[in-house]
Structure formats: structure tokens, C-alpha cells
Homo-oligomer: A and B are copies of this chain.
Amino acid sequence: MAKYTIGLDYGTNSVRAILVNVADGREIASAAWTYAHGKEGILLSGDPNLARQHPADYLKGAETTIKRALAAAKRSVKTFKPDHVIGLGVDTTGSTPIPVDRKGQPLAMDPRFAKDLDAMAWLWKDHTSFAEAEEITDLARKMRPQYLAKCGGVYSSEWFFSKILHCLRTNPKVFSAAYTWVEAADWIPAVLSGTEAPEDLKICVCAAGHKAMFNADWGGYPDEKFLARLDPKLGGLHVRLKTRAQTIDTSVGELSKAWASKTGLPAGIPVATGVFDAHAGAVGSGIEPGTLVKILGTSTCDMMIVPAGQPLADIPGLCGIVKGSVVPGFIGLEAGQSAVGDIFNWYVDVIRPGGAKSGSHAALTKEADKLAPGASGLLALDWNHGNRTVLVDPRLSGLLVGQSLHTTPAEVYRALVEATAFGALTIINRLEQYHVKVERIVTGGGIAEKNPMVMQIYADVTNRPMMLSRSSQTCALGAAVAAAVCAGAHESIPAAQKAMTGLKTKVYQPNPPAVAVYKKLYVLYKQLHDAFGTTAWKGSCHNVMKDLLDLRAQARGS
């Protein structure tokens, strides 16, 4: 009798449930639902920095997608019955903290706060807390530098404490009404297992470690004295925060009878500890030491794991170094690029080059694919939305150099793709500089599947094979993998990955002549990267345009 687990993947605009065979990872059914509140699931205001979600959507989304997925499974596998489902895992965006009351109920569900945006879930991409993020970074630099060493040296406005502190400062009514704050990644599994009361709540090491400076080495979250120095009221929260955090091979509890009856799933099956989407995606992509999993979308999330026993320095610029955050027994490393697909989309949708007909991604790719590396004479920096890793600096911008009077739209498009690949290589080089070897890259998602040119450029620029995850829902699959381990179908996450995840057969291998050209172009990229991105660099850029012209002449054979 086949056994299945459910992976529930909460994205920015919608939630998806997939049903996966724990023996071989086959996805037999899938169902998605777009959140009901706000614009494509996001509550907005006049402030462009604000982005919230209604927690009620998380519950409605679980019910809707699980029921639909079960119905779809019955259609695709004749013998399927809901009691073949042995576990459930959840991944979400993050850091997405929710203010909750003494019972773990979101304030958003209290009629008094029904219309207060600050009582909602503060979505990962909410940037209202930029001033508080700076304040936290400044204080940590002086008082607790060790906190920053694990998150790249800068605390972000997207993260847990920045958001809570901003609420405290700007909406004390909501802050006072909140008993504590819970990440969406922790709250949803808790509700499904009836453990949402703060005293019963279990939290995941992934959210706490990467976004809230949680580390067993210093006893969990930042200490009360540190939080109190930011604000005495924030210090007062410390006693209500958890002191232990779990890995995804552990459950937070069993599916409650209430949720069993709502969804049609058997009551009592384990609900896995929650996890962030990118981390679940890494698990679903079969992450292991030596493999960098790149979640390639509008931005990227780059994940690596290192055996926990192996000595590892604090790597400057990485947005997270957390034991057990991806695979238990391994240190999880998180890096990322602030904009990748977003840069290509900006060029196609906002600049709209090529007149009426030739400006689509497909048309530009077709032309760009004919160009030899170096032949355009162009070089770009991929910082239109700042730089997450390794510079950790949002106050950067795009740059394009080498334009002539003949530079074409497709040449610019290719230069933008190459720039993001150079950005990817910069992350890889930083990892290897600290002895984390990157032997291959596994990626997935729309760009990777739709655009072979992008994949080949990444292979040539990074000089590493580019591989594709077999699943196109790696995040949900990762959550299902976690559930399979919690349910005892596999003895460990790596064992479950071996059975349930895999790669497509197509591998993009580096092409040596292109690798050689990109090696030279990367020297120039790195020069501009350091010239515009660091204070340490001092020099001249006089060679840049001339070197690009030389490379252009060589590439064109003239």
C-alpha cells in the first residue's frame, strides 16, 4: 500500500498543497489557492514599504488546498484513500511575524483590530522597519558583535525584531495588545496541531536562527539586556520568547481532530516543524555538501549545507549561518541576490526595448543566444535592487558600461543575464574562500526551465555544471520530505531526500572557450564590484572600457 505525505507551501501570493508518494517522491496531486485578502494576497497602504497578509488566509488556504488535493489524488490514483496520508509539512515565506494574544490567536482576528494593518502578518518584503533595522545593527555592532557575525554583519528591515520594534514605536496599541509574536512558519503548523497557545508553541530553528539572531551558543534569542537597550518594552517581550528551536525532522504535534474534520485527513498524523520556503526548496532539490541550491526567481536564494562537525568560520556577507536550519546535523548557509528575474522583467516590462514586436523575453533571448561571450563589449552590475550577498548593501544601483552607437537591445539583455551570473559567481567565490566547496549548482523554477540560455551562461560563468531539480515544486516537496521523516517513513532527512528527490537528466556543462572569455570578463566585473561596492578599493577604472573593446574585438575576430 503506497503511503503519502502532504507538503503545504505558503508563497507570497498563494498557497499550494501537493501529495507525494514517500517511496519515490512521485507527486500524485496538487492544488493551489490565491489568498483572498488584498492585492494578490498582499495588504497594501499608501506607504510603498508596507506589505502585510491576513492570517485568516493561511487557514482558509490550508483547508481549501488540502481538500482539493485529496480530491485530485482520488482521480489520479484509483486506489488512493485519505488515510494513506501519513504526515504533513509546512513551509512559508519569512520573516513574516504575526502578533498574537495569550491564546496564540492573531490580533487580526480580534474584531478590535480587524482593520489595523499592524495587527496582520508582516510579510517578509515589508520594509517599513528600515530605521529600526539600522538601530539594531548599530547596537549589535557595539554590544553584541557575535549576533551579526552569523547574519552577514547587517540586521535587515525584513527581519523579526525590526518589525516588532517598528510596531512598538509606531503603533503601541497593537504592540501592547500582543502577548507575543510568532513567525507564520511556526504559527501554521501550531494551529494545525492545536499547539498555538504560547506555552505549547514549538518554533523552527530556520526562522529563529536566520532572521532573529537565535543561536544555542548564546542561549537562544538575543538576551533581555540587549533587547531592553533597544526599548524596555522589547526587553519585556524576552521572557515570552521560546528558548528552544526544532529541526524539520521533528514534529510539532499531531493533526487535530478539528483540522482532520475540516480537511478530510486522518487525525493524529504528525505535523512537521515549519520551515522557510527556500530552505524547504533546498531539501526538495536534494541538497547535500558540495551542492549549491539556487532558488532562481525574481530574486535568488542560495543554500548550502556543511556537516555540523566541520570547522566553519563566520563568512562575511552571508545572510545566515545556522546549525540545523536546512538539514538536521548540518550547518545551513543562506545567501542570495536581491534581483535576478526582476532585472530581466524590468528591462522587458519597463524599458520595453525593441519597438513593437521584438521586446519579449523570448525574442530577446533568441537574439541574445546568438551572441558570443564578450562580443557585445558590454558589462553590467546586477544591483538594480541593491546587493544582498556579499556586500549586504541595499543602497546600490545598476550599472551598464560599454555602450556604442550600435549596441542592440539583445546585447543589453545578455549583459544583464551575465551580470546576474557574475553576481552568482561572487557568492560562490566567497563560500570557497572560506573552504565551503561548491562543486555543482542545482536550480529550478520558471527561468531555469524556460530559458536554456540563462542556464548555459550560468554554467559558463561559474564554470560548474548547472542541474535542474526534477520537481517543479521543490519547496512543497521539501515540506513533504520533512513530513515523511516525522512519520517514520524514512530515518533521516538525507535518507528521505535520496528516496523522494532527484534531478532532471539534462545537465548544462561549462563550455571551455566561453569559460575562458567569462574568466576575463569577471575580472572586470569584480573590479567594478569592488570600485563601486566597497570602501576598501582604491584604483583607476581606466582599463575597463579598453579591455572590453579588446575582448569585443577578439570575440568578433576583428
Contacts and interface: CB of A to CB of B under 8 A. Distances in A.
27 contacts: A339-B405, A351-B353, A351-B354, A352-B409, A355-B355, A355-B356, A355-B359, A383-B545, A384-B403, A384-B405, A385-B404, A385-B405, A395-B546, A395-B549, A396-B545, A397-B549, A398-B401, A398-B403, A399-B399, A399-B400, A399-B402, A399-B403, A399-B545, A401-B532, A531-B541, A532-B545, A534-B540
A397 B406 contact: no
A398 B409 contact: no
Given A350-B406, A355-B352, A533 B542 contact: yes
A546 B393 CA distance: 10
A408 interface: yes
B384 A404 contact: yes
A350 B408 contact: yes
A539 interface: yes
Contact of A395 (B342, B397, B412, B545): B545
Contacts of A539: 538-539
Interface in A351-374: 351-356, 359
Nearest to A552: B397
Among A345, A405, A541, which residue has the most Cβ atoms of chain B within 10 A?
A405
A542 to B, nearest CB: 5
A44 interface: no
Interface string A163-194: 00000000000000000000000000000000
Contact of A397 (B353, B402, B538): B402
Given A346-B405, A353-B353, A385-B405, 20 more contacts: A342-B405, A346-B407, A350-B405, A351-B353, A351-B409, A355-B355, A355-B356, A356-B356, A377-B397, A383-B545, A384-B403, A397-B402, A398-B402, A400-B400, A400-B403, A531-B540, A531-B541, A532-B542, A534-B540, A535-B540
A537 interface: yes
A292 interface: no
A409 B353 CA distance: 9
A77 to B, nearest CB: 43
Contacts of A197: none
Contacts of A406: 346, 350
Nearest to A357: B356
Q: Which 9 residue pairs spanning A and B have beta carbons closest together?
A: A398-B403, A356-B356, A352-B355, A399-B401, A531-B541, A346-B405, A397-B545, A397-B402, A532-B541
B549 A532 contact: no
Contacts of A412: 351
Interface in A313-351: 339, 342-343, 345-346, 350-351
Interface string A205-230: 00000000000000000000000000
A306 B367 CA distance: 52
